[in-house]
Structure 1
Amino acid sequence: MINVMAYKIAKILNNNVLIARNEHDIEVVLIGKGIGFKRQTDSIIKQDEIEKLFMLTEREEQEQFKKLLPHIEDELLKVIISSIELIRERTKSFLNEHIHVALTDHLVFAVNRLMRGMAISNPFLIETRVLYPFEYEIAKEVVQLINEKAHIYLPEGEIGFIALHIHSAMVNKDVHQLNSHSQLISKLVQLIESQFDVTIDKESMDYMRLVRHLRYTIERVIRGERVEEPEKIASLLKQEYPMCYNLSWKLIKVMQQTLKKSVFEAEAVYLTMHLQRIQNKIK
């Protein structure tokens, strides 16, 4: 009989990683140096042999992780798991368990490409840093940890990719959706720069406000959330700042086409105010 401080081996993945069942018959991943060496299925692992433990409750996540693990070198796997523990400590929040599969898969892919001299650039790094500053700072720590422990050099762009994975796990949203939002914001900013014939300072406070406003607009559109429509202000802005007002509608049309969602007219008012502020700074 398994006691509280022991686990029964369900599957040995390699010498240092195995799948086991706890006293509630729930599968857990156990990690420890040599923990699987010369062990057999159904044998008992005691608590003091375990260096790290985490639980994957979703069957699909378990199966994906099992398929992924045998293809990862032990030392790299340890660093990745330590990175996820660091993320959990820094966020102090519930993380969707998919981060174990998604971030592990991403980092293994990134390291393999790096070893072949094929590092991927991140064209949306600045937008990600502005949109998710908290997650970005944690991602910087993760990259530093991996570089030091794995003796490699992940490029700066990886900070942005990892930040998206962290935010995805925190808010329980698909990382591809988050990345598509960053791409959309980048596209909208390029349209603004083209219309104003200017390159916006990506380090400026106005840029940060604009990007965050675009992010919140996109989130409202996805939720179908209506904002209050200030009719008098709308009429005034349309008369006083026709270029900004027309540009705001161009941006809204791009959002509608990309998100396949309707955008309430009031959004044009708030976008116009942000655009007018930027235009004033570049005059």
Structure 2
Amino acid sequence: MKQVFTIQKILNNNVVIAYNNIYKEVVLIGNGLGFNRKKGDLVPFDEADKTFLLTDEKEMEQYVNLLPYIEEKLISFIHELLLFIEEKMEKELNEHIHVALTDHIAFAINRAKKDIQFSNPFLFEIESLYPKEYSVAKDVVQKVETQTDVLFPEGEIGFIALHIHSAVTDKSLRDINRYHSLLSKLVTIIQDSLDIRLEKNNIDYHRLIQHLHRAIDRADKGTPVGEENKLAAMLKNEYPICYNLAWKLIKVMQNQLNKPVDESEVMYLTIHLQRLTHKF
């Protein structure tokens, strides 16, 4: 049975507020959805090639309040970008990306037109941790530049990649940025403690941040990694500096996340740290 919505208000040619017995009041977003329609008209949900549905009250309110500040043709273009992202990621997008990405791209265009430059300190890490999202974000930036005739700084690819990652994993940008901030802190501690400078294009650095990110994620979710007492004892004896540093990193994670971290993480961190000193 097809979902049918009754239009309550037309916001523009592509966005309408509608009502449905199942979803109640929603925002429907689709190319040409509001064109030649009026209040009380019925809209089949699958009428457009793809119609997005906003059901969260807070997201709806934020999106509706955002619309007056954005050109209608840009709203339509961003809708096409979201379709492109969903197709490339092969996953349904969390509805919060409609507000977040619309807001981000609109202001990013304004910044670019004013030639406001900035850097993204986590650009390498974002590409390393989320390669698919980064690749899709690169295509999105290219499409925006072609459409608007403005040039984005490279850092925008990273920020858009984070929005995509957030939308396909249902993680909030706040949590994702919290992970990255902690990751950066751990890397700084490692460099200072071992008196080394990590080269970002080095495979060992790539492996380290991959592992730290997974360790943070496991700790945040309370996922155990198992226990190997004999291996732990061997690592403690053979590589005491890296073993003690691994414990220090675990303590920092615990304090930042305010959650316990599985002690078995120490073993894996010790191995990665030892690789960095080229003595393993």
Q: Give the TM-score normalised by the residue count of structure 2.
A: 0.88
SS at match of 2:51: strand
- The alpha-carbon deviation at position 15 of structure 1 amounts to 4.9
Amino acid at match of 1:159: I
What do residues 56-92 of structure 1 show as CA deviations (whole Å, max 9, x unaligned)? 1223222221111121112322222111111100111
CA contact (8 A) 2:31 2:79 kept: no
CA distance in 2, matches of 1:232, 1:23: 61
- Which amino acid in the other structure matches residue 207 of structure 2? R
Match of 1:29 in 2: 28
Q: For the Cα contact (< 8 Å) 2:45–2:51, is it kept in 1?
A: no
The 8 Å contact of residues 30 and 50 in structure 1, kept in 2 or not, is answered as no
Asked if 1:58 corresponds to 2:74, the answer is: no
* Partner AA of 1:86 in structure 2: F
Deviations for 1:76-116, whole angstroms, at most 9, x for unmatched residues?
22222111111100111122111111211222232223333
Larger deviation: 132-141 or 71-80? 71-80
**Does structure 1 retain, via aligned residues, the 8 Å contact 2:9–2:17?**
yes
Gaps of 5+ in 2: none
Q: Separation in 1 of the partners of 2:277 and 2:52?
A: 51
1:210 aligns with 2:221: no
Residues in 1 aligned to 2:270 and 2:28: alpha-carbon distance in whole angstroms: 52
C-alpha RMSD over aligned residues: 2.8
Give the Cα–Cα distance (whole angstroms) in 1 for the partners of residues 64 and 149 of structure 2: 26
1:178 aligns with 2:176: yes
Match of 1:159 among 157, 160, 171: 157
Aligned 1:71-86 pairs, distance under 5 A: 71-86=69-84
- Equivalent residue of 2:40, what SS? coil
Which letter maps to 1:19?
I
Shift of 1:46: 8.8
Corresponding position of 2:113: 115
Verify the 8 A CA contact 1:127 1:185 in the aligned structure 2.
no
Match of 2:236 in 1: 238
- The offset of 1:49, in angstroms, is 9.4
Q: Give SS of 2:176's match.
A: helix
Q: Which sits farther off after the overlay, 243-252 or 20-29? A: 20-29
Q: Is the 2:50–2:83 Cα contact (8 Å) retained in structure 1?
A: no
Instruction: Indicate conservation of the 8 Å contact 2:7/2:19, yes or no.
Output: yes
- 220 and 52 in structure 1: CA distance in 2 versus 1, 3 angstrom threshold: closer
Q: Is the 8 A contact 1:5 1:47 kept in 2?
A: yes
Q: CA offsets, 1:224-264, max 9 Å, x none?
A: 22222211221221121111111112211221121111222
Instruction: Quote how far apart the aligned CAs of 1:47 are.
Output: 9.5
| Contact 1:227/1:267 (8 A) holds in 2 | yes
Percentage of identical aligned residues? 47
Query: Aligned partners of 1:10, 1:267: CA distance in 2, in Å?
Result: 54
Classify 1:221/1:33 alpha carbon distance in 2 versus 1 (closer, same or farther; 3 Å): closer
In 1, the alpha carbon distance for the partners of 2:249 and 2:270 equals: 10
Could you say which residue in structure 2 is the equivalent of 1:9?
A: 7
| Total equivalences in the alignment | 279
Distance 2:49 2:117 in 1: 32
Note if 1:128 corresponds to 2:119: no
Deviation at 1:219, TM superposition (A): 1.1
C-alpha separation between the residues in 2 aligned to 1:233 and 1:162? 41
- CA shift, 1:118, in A, is 2.7
Residue equivalent to 2:143: 145
1:268 aligned partner: 266
CA separation of 1:181 and 1:201: change in aligned 2, threshold 3 A: same
Please give the alpha-carbon distance, in whole angstroms, between the structure 1 residues aligned to 2:93 and 2:31.
23
User: CA–CA distance in 2 between the matches of 1:86 and 1:142?
Assistant: 8
